[in-house]
Amino acid sequence: MATKIVLRGVKLASDEEITRMYQALGSSLRRRIIEFLGTRGKARVTEIKKALKVSTGSLYYNLELLRDLIDRDENKKYYLTEKGWIAYNLIKNGQESFLDMRVYKPLISFKLRSKLSLIFHPRWIFMIIFEAQKITFPISIAILVLSAWLCAQTRIELTLFTFSVNVFQPPWVIALKFIVSWFAIYGLANLFPLIFHGRIGGFIQMFIGLAFSITPLLITPILKTLLVSIDNFTLGVITLIFQIVSCLLLSTAIGVAKNLRVERALLIGFLIVYLNITLVVFLRR
């Protein structure tokens, strides 16, 4: 039976939850972040970065690993959650050894899970991208223009998560189809979080996130341009791989832009991809 513990009037759900907290506090930088927020109350990324003298990438990565202990308000200021205050008290009172007594060894280590998360759900990268939106927003527009141009030049109908070679359509029609499908996906990426989780806002971040998420799919028209002799089967296999990558990136972008947990963002991302592919297959019958 899982043990439940009450610390200073707050109940921790189980040993597993305690273990996650202990593992999150295994880094001196993450302990310093908790201590800083516990002392400061609320702080922006720039304030934490300046106080702790840490690089932007390292800070965002470790903030992501602390997502159960910290949260961010509408003004983009980080603060400690209820569990975060428990962690803060444990650090200040020297009670980390108390947690150590309750730790079990998980099947996949915290370090390995962190690295896998970094690869398959790189939230910290999108946090950096969204923070620099004055630069990344124009880049996003450039990505869309380039994508539409590549599709038109190669006669590849890239309806985001599906593709087909269409030599009969005029280039401008193919480019227009890409833009229309992109805005359809953008609409769903904002609609589903609202319907399922009541999340609204983050529209510019979602615009930027979707643009960056589709960049792996550009490999299809690029390969078609560089390797004219490549057959459609090989191109399809390569596209499938990058479709999966794009889907994971889209889910991550949704999670960060709408402040959703990993599993919820993944469900929405895969639902969007499923609807996209189903609709395209239906229309092509």
* 84 and 160 together in one domain: no
Verify that 189 and 106 share a domain, yes or no: no
pTM of this prediction? 0.72
Please check the confidence at residue 115 and state whether its pLDDT lies above 90.
no
Q: Are residues 158 and 252 in the same domain?
A: yes
Q: Are residues 254 and 139 in the same domain?
A: yes
Give the position of tokens 């998560």.
Answer: 161
Which H or E run contains 80?
Answer: strand 78-80
| 164 φ/ψ angles, rounded to the nearest 5 degrees | -155, 150
> By C-alpha distance, which of 176, 177, 8 is closest to 92?
8
**104 and 210 fall within a common domain:** no
Shared domain for 71 and 137, answered yes or no, is no
Q: Which helix (H) or strand (E) holds 87?
A: helix 82-92
Mean pLDDT calculated for residue range 144-173: 84
Do 51 and 86 fall into the same domain? yes
Domain end, chosen from 85, 119, 153, is at: 119
Domain containing 14: what range?
5-119
Q: How many domains does the chain have?
A: 2
How do residues 67-91 score in pLDDT, each as one tens digit? Answer: 778 888 878 888 888 888 878 877 7
Domain final residue, candidates 61, 88, 119: 119
Cα 106–265–109 angle (5° rounding)? 15
Find the CATH number of the domain harbouring 72.
Answer: 1.10.10.10
